[in-house]
Amino acid sequence: MGDRETAKGSHLDRGLEPSVFETPGSRGQRRRRGDLHICPECGSDLVYPTDWAPASERHWQVALRCPECEWNGGGRYSQDVVDRLDEELDHGTERVLDDLNILVRANMEDQIDRFVAALNGDNILPEDF
């Protein structure tokens, strides 16, 4: 990970805390090293793993992708960092499911409204069933 190593080294040169760094192309976004769900290029919080495998007893080799800017990267990360990514993925899944439930409910309400309007307008015949 040449770019990642460059970014790690450069944060010390600018006097930032070791746990926080800016990466090239991040447009001033500050990113903690353990926040794998944050894209180092565009700052999006939608980064997800495309592949992972155990690298050692307490480390994982993880490939990452950002769907917004098409950044691809990854590396070898500790179990703690991967656990934080897993928690973020769980939160993201919950948000997607919440949005899905809202959309399903809105669609059902729309279908009910159209059905009621069809009933009231005598537009439903026995042949429709």
Q: Determine contact, residues 61/55, Cβ cutoff 8 Å.
A: yes
The residue-averaged pLDDT of 103-125 equals 94
Is the pLDDT score of 11 beyond 60? Answer: no
d(CA 129, CA 56): 61
Q: Indicate the domain borders of the chain.
A: 2-128
The pLDDT tens digits of the residues spanning 22-77 come to 333 444 344 566 799 999 999 999 999 999 999 999 999 999 999 999 999 999 99
d(CA 18, CA 34): 11
Q: Which amino acid, residue 117?
A: A
